[in-house]
């Protein structure tokens, strides 16, 4: 039997759930205390738990999903109604074999994930191209948004990896060899998605480092410019301070040409320094 229920509706499945899960309160801990262990194996049943990331939805909120799997039944418990509707679409209809239902569920769950990761890669690449073209508006904000979403994706696939590690170990013998073979194929798909997310995280990290390096270069260029401006005006400041002392015996003060000569000397000093800095390629 395969069913999809909300956490609050767990009582509807008590007649088919293993007594051990009910008597020891294992299922209750997951449903009421929101336990986060991804996989637990018992003698007659498995419990798999993960935060559902809906790649086909624009909503960013995740909801907890709990899978109960015994020798005959597959029951999916969902945290909210929206997730329930999504799980019902993923679960094969009128599927008597719980192994085929489990395989079909995870196959449908991961059906569009690689396309979703590819779309993220295109979006990140487009943002980088815009930044290289000079459009850096809110660029750092985009990088932060990418890092947050990729972190959520990484956690999602990490949980699925833990679930499949437990299922493939098959300690309690709930699954047949044929089922394990098919689940191994799905596990490989999860690993590819996980590696894709890690590659994108590394890519975004490199983008942030490159952006920070570009900011540092621009700041260094700005500081270099101001330093050169200061160097150009420093001799003029010295001349002004020198002749601004107005000592009585300074012969230049009595000359009728002192003001034009000072202006010409100031201009020549500035031109000399500018040409010197350009020759050294500092300016």
pLDDT tens string, the chain, 283 residues long: the values are 788 888 888 777 777 776 665 555 667 767 766 656 688 888 888 888 888 888 877 666 778 888 888 888 888 888 888 888 888 888 876 666 788 888 888 898 888 889 988 988 888 888 878 777 766 677 778 888 888 888 988 998 999 999 999 999 888 888 888 889 999 999 999 999 999 999 988 888 887 777 777 777 777 878 888 888 888 888 888 888 877 777 777 777 777 777 888 888 888 988 888 888 888 877 6
Q: For position 186, what pLDDT does the model report?
A: 92
> What is the Cα gyration radius of the chain?
35
Task: Note the pLDDT tens digit of each residue in 111-132.
Answer: 888 998 898 888 888 887 877 7
Output the CA torsion sign for 227, 232, 237, 239. positive
Q: What is the pLDDT of residue 144?
A: 85
pLDDT at site 269: 87
Tokens of 23: 């008597």
Pairing state of beta strands 2-6 and 74-78? parallel
- pTM value > 0.75: no
Please report the pLDDT score of residue 198 as a whole number: 92
Question: Do the beta carbons of residue 168 and residue 184 sit within 8 Å?
Answer: yes
The answer to whether the CB of 240 falls within 8 A of the CB of 259 is no
Rounded to an integer, what distance in angstroms lies between the CA atom of residue 87 and that of residue 105? 8
What are the φ/ψ torsions at residue 67 (nearest 5 degrees)?
-105, 125
Give ∠ CA 56-92-177 in degrees, rounded to 5. Answer: 110
Nearest one of 264, 259, 227, 219 to 243, comparing CA atoms? 259
What is the Cα–Cα distance from 105 to 62, expressed in whole angstroms?
Answer: 18
Q: pLDDT at position 26, please?
A: 65
- pLDDT at residue 33, rounded to an integer: 63
Q: What is the pLDDT of residue 23?
A: 53
> Cα–Cα distance between 269 and 263 in angstroms, integer?
10
Give the neighbor-by-neighbor strand order of the sheet with 39-41.
2-6, 74-78, 63-70, 45-52, 39-41
Give the largest CA-CA distance in the chain. Answer: 115
CA distances (Å), origin 173, targets 41, 69, 108, 161, 209: 10, 12, 24, 19, 49
What pLDDT, on the 0 to 100 scale, is given for residue 189?
A: 93
Tens digits of per-residue pLDDT, 31-44? 766 656 688 888 88
């Amino acid at each position: 039997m395969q069913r999809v229920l909300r956490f609050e509706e767990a009582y509807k499945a008590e007649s088919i759930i293993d007594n051990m899960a009910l008597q020891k309160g294992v299922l209750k801990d997951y449903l009421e205390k929101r336990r986060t262990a991804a996989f637990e194996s018992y003698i007659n049943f498995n419990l798999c738990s993960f935060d559902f990331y809906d790649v086909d939805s624009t909503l960013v909120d995740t909801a907890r999903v709990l899978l109960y799997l015994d020798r005959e039944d597959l029951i999916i418990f969902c945290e909210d109604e929206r997730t329930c509707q999504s799980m019902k679409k993923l679960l094969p209809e009128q599927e008597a074999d719980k192994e085929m239902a489990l395989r079909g569920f995870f196959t449908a769950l991961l059906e569009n994930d690689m396309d979703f990761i590819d779309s993220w890669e295109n979006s990140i690449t487009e943002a980088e191209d815009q930044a290289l073209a000079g459009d850096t508006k809110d660029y750092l904000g985009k990088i932060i948004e990418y890092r947050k979403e990729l972190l959520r994706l990484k956690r999602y696939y990490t949980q699925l990896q833990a679930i499949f590690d437990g299922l493939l170990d098959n300690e309690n013998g709930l699954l047949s060899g044929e089922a394990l073979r098919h689940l191994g194929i799905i596990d490989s798909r999860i690993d590819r998605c996980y590696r894709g997310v890690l590659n994108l995280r590394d890519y975004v990290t490199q983008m942030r480092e490159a952006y920070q390096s570009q900011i540092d270069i621009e700041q260094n260029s700005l500081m270099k410019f101001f330093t050169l401006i200061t160097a150009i005006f420093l001799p003029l400041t010295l001349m002004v301070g020198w002749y601004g002392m107005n000592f009585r015996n300074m012969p230049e003060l009595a000359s009728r040409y002192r003001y034009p000569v000072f202006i010409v000397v100031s201009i020549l000093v500035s031109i000399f320094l500018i040409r010197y800095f350009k020759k050294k390629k500092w300016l």
